[in-house]
Amino acid sequence: MSLSYELRVLELDSQTQLLERVQLLTQFAANFVVVKGEAGAGKTWLAHRYLEAWSYDKNQSLVTCLPNQEDEVNRGNILRQLFPHQMYSTTDSLNDSIERILDGEACNIVIVVDNAHHASQALLAELWLLYSAALSTPKQNISVVLFTASESVSTKLARLSHGLDIKPVELDIDELPEEEAERFFESLVLRYLDESVEKRIKSAFTNTRPLPGEILALGEHKVEKKVIIRTLVARLRRLPSPLPLFCCCCSWAIAGYCKRRSQVLRQSKRRVNRP
């Protein structure tokens, strides 16, 4: 059984409760949800797990925002997943494109944005407009779920929703409880360790914050060190042996000594043979 598979099926109670809340918020009506968590809190895993197991009956789109990524790229990624056989222009706003494609027909859509703190103000505004427009359109359920590591997204959305009755729903990803952190460590890190490093990694775990990313990093550091050591050993093996060079130096030194010794002996003989 692979680690990637176990990551998919190992659901902890705290994570399950959070996913249930997101599902309830988006299942029967349109909603705009912001899930906040620091680096290593498991946002990306939760985003994928939500789409895989908690919203499988919806028309889904998952986009991961990158720093300085153009809005046209993100629009294209969203529309390509939702409407793979439709024509659209990535220069048009999301609301304009989806409104034209649906033409008033019913829909059940969820758009999940990971690393939403990298999304531009313009893209966030388009997603907010898309959601708010669906509220007034019968039989259209369009929800947006943002996963972010920054408060900047909440600040931007506060401007968009200022003076309106509708507000985004914010959820926080907390640190794992002690029991869940130990279970996570034992299931996904400890069982894969070599006996030679098990004691050291166990000790490191006691000083590690109970965040999925930081716990997994304990096993990754162990692998990285092995790779570094193996690389160094391989490089040393490829280096030329110093023995031939040492032998050459010794030969040159001995030859030079013998040559000088021979010259000294010849000079001594000449002095002896002089009248």
Whole-number average pLDDT of the chain: 85
DSSP string, 203-244: HHHTTS-S-HHHHHHHHHHHHHHHHHHHHHHHHHHHSPPHHH
Residue 37 has pLDDT above 70, yes or no: yes
Predicted confidence (pLDDT) per residue in 167-208, tens digit:
999 999 999 999 999 999 999 999 999 989 999 999 999 999
- What's the DSSP call for residue 56? T
Model pLDDT for residues 42-99, shown as the tens digit of each residue: 999 999 999 999 998 999 999 999 999 999 999 999 999 999 999 999 999 999 999 9
Confidence of residue 238 (pLDDT cuts 50, 70, 90): low
Strands 169-172 and 107-114: unpaired
Residue 50 in contact with residue 57, Cβ under 8 Å? Answer: no
Q: Does residue 271 carry a pLDDT above 60?
A: no
What per-residue confidence (pLDDT) applies to 242? Answer: 52
pLDDT band at 125 (very low <50, low <70, confident <90, very high): very high
User: Coil, strand, or helix at residue 89?
Assistant: coil
What pLDDT sits at residue 168? Answer: 96
pLDDT at 4: 47
Residue carrying structure tokens 């176990």: 6
User: Residue 140 and residue 246: Cα distance in Å, rounded?
Assistant: 82
Can you read off the two tokens belonging to residue 116? Answer: 């939403």
By CB atoms closer than 10 A (0-12, 13-18, 19+), residue 171 is middle
pLDDT for the residue numbered 232: 39
Instruction: Indicate the DSSP class of residue 10.
Output: -
Tell me which amino acid residue 107 is.
C
Binned at pLDDT 50, 70 and 90, residue 226 comes out as very low
- The per-residue pLDDT for 11 is 78
Compute and round to an integer the Cα radius of gyration of the chain: 33
Instruction: Name residue 175's amino acid.
Output: E
Confidence of residue 1 (pLDDT cuts 50, 70, 90): very low
Nearest residue to 209 via CA among 190, 181, 229, 235: 181
pLDDT for residue 124 = 98
Residue 7 has pLDDT above 60, yes or no: no
**CA–CA gap between residue 60 and residue 63 (Å, rounded):** 10
Share of the chain above pLDDT 70, in %: 77
pLDDT band (50, 70, 90) for residue 225: very low
Q: Which stretch of DSSP H or E encloses residue 111?
A: strand 107-114
Closest CA to 46 of 72, 16, 6: 16
